[in-house]
Amino acid sequence: MEKFLLKNIENPDSADINEYVKAGGYKNLSKVLESGPKEVVEEVKKSGLRGRGGAGFPTAMKWSFAMADPKFPKYLMCNADEGEPGTFKDRPILEKNPHLLIEGMVISGYALGSEYGYIYLRGEYPEANDILNAAIRQAYEKNYLGDNINGKGVRFHLSVHQGAGAYICGEETALIESIEGKKGQPRNKPPFPVNVGAWSMPTIVNNVETLSNLPYIIEIGGEAYSRIGSSECPGPKLFSVSGHVERPGVYELPMGISLKDIIYNHAGGIKDNAKLKAVIPGGISTPVLPPDSIDCAMDFVSMPKAGSMLGSGAVIVMDDSVCMVRVAYRALKFFEHESCGKCVPCREGTDWLRKVLERIEYGKGTEGDIELLSDIAEIMSGKTFCPLGDGAAGVVTAMIKHFRDEFEEHIKNRKCSLADSY
């Protein structure tokens, strides 16, 4: 497939505006400024674009809610928090193709009637911070940002806001709290950010990859875009593949490609021809899949039917040297650490799950611990303030469902038989 999101990234100067323009960059913005904002919205609607941040929400629908709100100014937030472990798909855009994102944001801002954009960038990406700031400066110099873009009287101002190491700030309402200078604790919904967001104004939060699709949609037209990949969630998708594969990395492939195809064809198969044990398909918040379930289409609609979720498209491949209790324990350590502490089921539940998993892994589990884990997970499910706690519960439930014998073995033998691997 021809690359668009990762186009030209082999060019060492790909982040430079001159290289970007040479490769056809910013021409889609110029095109849009001729035709008008309504046409952009129309094309996005036709494209069927769904958000790439994890939830797969239809972008045109989110936009229409914000546009229907009469309040101004409206703010456009690019979610570059990329905190879901296993995910590194936005990083090549941010570091190698920053102007694609900037062009996408200006086009989106123009369509939405928003004149102010912010990129909420995770603190763990210091290089991307420098690159984005340099790219933004260049875009101002060349008049692709500012008060009179392309001499058309269109305004859009953009800046980077650096996060400081809190996973929960990737959740859109926590992101907004954080940009307001507060702790990143999610807000109650409704009201939704599209009506009452940053500084109480309508706010559109979209992922880096989502916004970077805009120039492509304009270039080929919404209808042609809608024919790429899955019919229900079309377009190119970035998959970040890590773990025990021959060729880990970020792959731009059509949405709906089979997970098996990603692992065995694109990522070169299991490292050193080892035996596949498990795959986490969409970042560690998504339920694990056993080897016999990986022949599934990677899109937002098909993955739930296959027993997991597309999430951020972060594929983590594990061979049979990996202990699944250990993985569950490490995942829960993460969720416990990142729980924002606002709601009881998540704050207490993640802590409790982690404690039980820890004792099983270290040979101190007792009979009934597996049932206890399932109970805690069930109590948490659907009762947490935001999806973080739900995700944590789902991780444990799926681990027990597919690898119950490993949990039982730990408890029976009072040890982890793979402990030496770590």
The residue ranges that bind ligand FMN (CB under 6 A) are 51-55, 57, 62, 79, 81-84, 168, 170-172, 205-207, 210, 386-388
- Angle (CA) 101-2-139 rounded to 5° is 20
263 versus 284: smaller Cβ distance to ligand FMN: 284
Cα separation, 397 vs 383, in Å, equals 15
Which positions from 203 through 222 interact with another protein, judged by CB under 8 A? Answer: none
Radius of gyration of the chain (CA): 22
Number of residues counted as binding another protein (CB under 8 A): 54
Which entry of another protein, ligand FMN, none binds 302, CB below 5 to 8 A by partner kind? none
Which positions from 93 through 152 interact with another protein, judged by CB under 8 A? Answer: 122-127
Cα separation, 84 vs 14, in Å, equals 26
Pattern 335-374, binding to another protein, x per CB under 8 A? Answer: --xx-x----------------------------------
25 versus 389: smaller Cβ distance to another protein: 389
Which positions from 232 through 291 interact with another protein, judged by CB under 8 A? Answer: 240-244, 248-250, 280, 284
Cα first-last separation, the chain = 39
Contact 195, 69 (CB under 8 A): yes
Please name every residue paired with 50 in a beta bridge, in sequence order, or none if there are none.
58
Cα separation, 158 vs 150, in Å, equals 16
Q: Which of 154, 179, 233, 257 binds another protein (CB under 8 A)?
A: 179
167 versus 216: smaller Cβ distance to another protein: 167
Q: Which residue has the tokens 């186009």?
A: 7
Which entry of ligand FMN, another protein, none binds 51, CB below 5 to 8 A by partner kind? ligand FMN
DSSP 3-state of 259: helix
62 versus 277: smaller Cβ distance to ligand FMN: 62
223 binds another protein (CB under 8 A): no
Q: In what order do the strands lie in the sheet with 314-319?
A: 249-254, 236-243, 314-319, 276-280
Contact 317, 276 (CB under 8 A): yes
246 versus 375: smaller Cβ distance to another protein: 246
